[in-house]
Amino acid sequence: MDLLTKLVSVQTMELLMLKDLAHKNAVVSDPDSRFITLEIYRRHRLGLKPLAPGVVSKNLNISLPTAIKLINNLIVLGFIIKRTNKVDKRSTDLIATNTLIVRIEDYLSTMLIGMNAIKLMRLTATEKDELKSMMSGEPNSAPLFKALSSKYLANLTALWDEK
């Protein structure tokens, strides 16, 4: 299988998995909400200043009311919380919840292990173990995977078990 076909295969699997999970409200699948959650997660992991609603509006080139609507939807889903900025009480910070952190780590770990399985990239044994540990233990116990259909869960479990 050539490199482009491998990339298309990974993206197809990713989109099918997102579609399946989005119907069960286990993940956000619209691009704007995905940007927001991934950027909040990235800033959390790097210890950077939290994201503010105005930055979301500016980066996505959408109005502030539209950004607030997207943010409020993510709050209702339990992925983020709003917190008053400690320095500037007029500002609001967007903070990742444990649910968001676990789901993003489960999802990204799965994608990396999938790319390793089709030899799109090579992971060391240590990297594989680290990714597996980020998946919250057994596949059936990870919150993200509870929403997956049995077909997808079987495929992902096969990737983890690859030697």
Residues 5-62 have pLDDT tens digits of 878 877 887 887 778 777 777 778 888 999 999 999 999 999 999 999 999 999 999 9
Q: Which two tokens stand for residue 121?
A: 């990239």
pLDDT tens digits, one per residue of 112-144: 887 887 788 888 888 887 877 776 555 444 555
- The torsion defined by the Cα of 12, 18, 21 and 25, in degrees rounded to 10, comes to -160
Domain boundaries, the chain: 3-26+100-161, 31-99
CB atoms within 10 A of CB 84: 11
CATH code of the domain occupying 31-99: 1.10.10.10
Phi-psi region of 160 (alpha: psi -120 to 50; beta: other; left: phi over 0): alpha
For the segment 148-155, the average pLDDT, to the nearest whole number, is: 70
Contact between residue 158 and residue 152 where contact means Cβ atoms under 8 Å apart: no
The pLDDT value given to residue 139: 47
Residue 151 has pLDDT above 80, yes or no: no
> How wide is the angle at C-alpha 44 spanned by C-alphas 58 and 62, nearest 5°?
15
Contact between residue 77 and residue 63 where contact means Cβ atoms under 8 Å apart: no
> Which of the pair, 70 or 137, is modelled with greater confidence?
70
- Can you list the positions of beta strands (E) in the chain? 80-84, 92-96
For the segment 69-80, the average pLDDT, to the nearest whole number, is: 94
Helix (H) or strand (E) holding 87: none
d(CA 135, CA 107): 8
The pLDDT value given to residue 11: 81
Phi, psi (deg, nearest 5) at residue 161: -80, -5
The pTM of the full predicted model, rounded to 2 decimals, is: 0.76
Phi, psi (deg, nearest 5) at residue 5: -65, -40
> Which of the pair, 68 or 148, is modelled with greater confidence?
68
Assign 149 to helix, strand or coil.
coil
d(CA 114, CA 30): 22
Lowest mean pLDDT among 44-58, 70-84, 148-162: 148-162
